[in-house]
Structure 1
């Protein structure tokens, strides 16, 4: 995991097994440097890191990922934009499902399968 600094959270909304954060993607974030010279774009690896860290922290799991599934990066996330990050916990509680969007515009999505070993440690507590 790259351990990037997290974006500015403007607001949040929680329900039973999901959370949504409205995020500000400031132009001065270091991840834009050199990615790309013609048009700065937030790297997919940074988006993935944020989803893992924020989702695991919210749901109380260690950042221990077994696999990543159906990763899609549909639109470019640009500097000085606002997006919503939605993360849901599936019913078996082994996967986090994430999506970055702004209205009808989809930026990225995927499933994060958490390590069974880490989940067992959390359930023992």
Structure 2
């Protein structure tokens, strides 16, 4: 995991009835924001998707890879200076081939930042 415990920290991770929910905080001073963008940090979309993958890997205690991203819709800027805390909520269905069909969202107190669905293995 390349971002966990440096770019973000997981404060809680709960799995109930095929729904995984993680409460995380993002470090607004992380080097990623030096170039994206100075004075107005914006969490890159690829970083948000990496966080999803790492949270899944943490829960399942194994390396997880994105196989297919069916859709992703970025609805708002995830700016950790405005709100460093985010909620990841994912519905997970285990498939016969051991892959995971995942749909979910990332939200902050300001609203939903990302909606996505895909297949992970």
Q: Aligning the two structures, in what range does the TM-score lie when normalised by the shorter sequence? A: 0.7 to 0.9
Give the C-alpha shift of residue 56 in structure 1.
3.2
Q: 2:3 aligns with which of 2, 5, 9?
A: 5
Give 1 or 2 for the bigger CA radius of gyration. Answer: 1
Cα 1:12–1:94, aligned 2, differ >3 Å: closer, same or farther? closer
Give the unaligned 5+ runs of structure 1. 116-125
Q: 1:111 aligns with which of 95, 99, 117?
A: 117
Normalising by the residue count of structure 2, what TM-score does the alignment of the two structures yield?
0.78
Native 8 Å contact 1:32 1:41 kept in 2? yes
Distance in 2 between the 1:53 and 1:10 partners? 14
Q: 1:89 aligns with which of 87, 92, 97?
A: 92
Native 8 Å contact 1:51 1:98 kept in 2? no
| Runs of 4+ more than 6 Å apart | none
More helix by share: 1
> What do you get for the CA RMSD once the two structures are aligned?
2.2
Q: How does 1:1-125 map to 2 (within 5 A)?
A: 4-6=2-4, 7-60=8-61, 62-80=63-81, 81-90=84-93, 92=95, 94-103=100-109, 105-115=111-121
Native 8 Å contact 1:4 1:50 kept in 2? no
Give the C-alpha shift of residue 82 in structure 1.
0.9
